[in-house]
Amino acid sequence: MTFQRARTDEQRSQRRRQILDTAAALLTEMPVAKLSLNELSRRVGLAKANVLRYFESREAVLLDLLDTEIQSWLAELQQVPAFDGSTARERADLLADLLATSMARRPVLCDLFSAQGTVLEHNISTDLAVRHKHAARRSLGSLVELTRRHVPELGADGAAALVESTLLMAMSAWPCSRPSDAMLAAYASDPELAAMRLDFTDVVRRTTAITASGLLARRGERSDTGPAS
């Protein structure tokens, strides 16, 4: 393919979108760790230097893709009506299931989440780091508000703590739930070993539900002794 420089804002936006769409497609075939700038350039049909006209590094591409994936996930979550007619504990369990199952349906999002701190936030400029963290802060705020809509009894601090715990668990559980071929063979060879295989959805759902129960109980204890913040 002969490279033609994008000269208008619309053309530059289209070229960036093309690069991001190609990266997203590649991540359905391989984990973040194996996606190289060379492979991305080859698949998008541009020289590596031309890809770097639009993104400062491979990590910059993936951070932008992470924000896109998060926004799509949030849009899905915001379509779910508030849980009504149940106790705070029951609504928290429903929220835990919603978060776990919706993330499990988005393997690209989970893979990017799991690589965020160890890979994606390296090899980037300070300016990009600032923009990324502001975007992450806005997304966290949206998740906290969504949590409060479903379980208002948690309060602002409790909702923030629950979101933080859920995301940290998801980041840790995702790579552990993607065993190598050797580990899959080991699990298949012995039922006792198979019981040790981590199920991402179950772990995130259970951890989120238990954390929510603990936060609600602590908030209730504070309410018994004085006004809760």
CATH number for the domain spanning 33: value is 1.10.10.60
Helices (H), the chain: 9-26, 37-44, 48-51, 58-78, 88-104, 107-115, 126-150, 155-176, 181-189, 191-194, 200-225
The three-class DSSP label of residue 53 is coil
Q: Let me know if residue 2 belongs to a domain.
A: no
Q: What is the pLDDT along the chain (229 residues), one digit of tens a residue?
A: 444 565 677 878 888 999 999 999 999 999 998 999 999 999 999 899 999 999 999 999 999 999 999 999 999 999 999 998 789 999 999 999 999 999 999 999 999 999 999 999 999 999 999 999 999 999 999 999 999 999 999 999 999 999 999 999 999 999 999 999 999 999 999 999 999 999 999 999 999 999 999 999 998 866 655 554 4
Q: What is the per-residue pLDDT for 2?
A: 44
Residue 106: exposed, middle, or buried by beta-carbon count in 10 A (0-12, 13-18, 19+)?
A: middle
Residues 204 and 111 reside in one and the same domain: yes
Distance set, CA 222 to CA 63, 93, 104, 165, 208 (Å): 40, 22, 35, 21, 21
Residues 34 and 146 reside in one and the same domain: no
For tokens 């000269």, the residue is 7
Contact in structure between 134 and 67 (CB atoms under 8 Å): no
Q: What is the per-residue pLDDT for 73?
A: 97
Residues 117 and 184 reside in one and the same domain: yes
User: CA–CA separation, 84 vs 76, rounded Å?
Assistant: 19
Q: Which of 137, 10, 139, 120 is nearest to 73 (CA)?
A: 139
Residues 80 and 165 reside in one and the same domain: yes
Contact in structure between 36 and 27 (CB atoms under 8 Å): no
Residues 92 and 167 reside in one and the same domain: yes
Residues 188 and 207 reside in one and the same domain: yes
Residues 83 and 160 reside in one and the same domain: yes
Q: Let me know if residue 1 belongs to a domain.
A: no
Contacts of 104 (CB under 8 A, 6+ apart): 110, 200, 201, 204
- The count of structural domains within the chain is 2
Residues 78 and 153 reside in one and the same domain: yes
Which CATH number do you get for residue 194? 1.10.357.10
Give the domain extent around 13.
7-55
Q: Let me know if residue 207 belongs to a domain.
A: yes
User: CA–CA separation, 137 vs 74, rounded Å?
Assistant: 13
Residues 34 and 83 reside in one and the same domain: no
Q: What is the per-residue pLDDT for 8?
A: 73
Residues 68 and 35 reside in one and the same domain: no
Residues 112 and 31 reside in one and the same domain: no
Q: Let me know if residue 228 belongs to a domain.
A: no
Residues 115 and 14 reside in one and the same domain: no
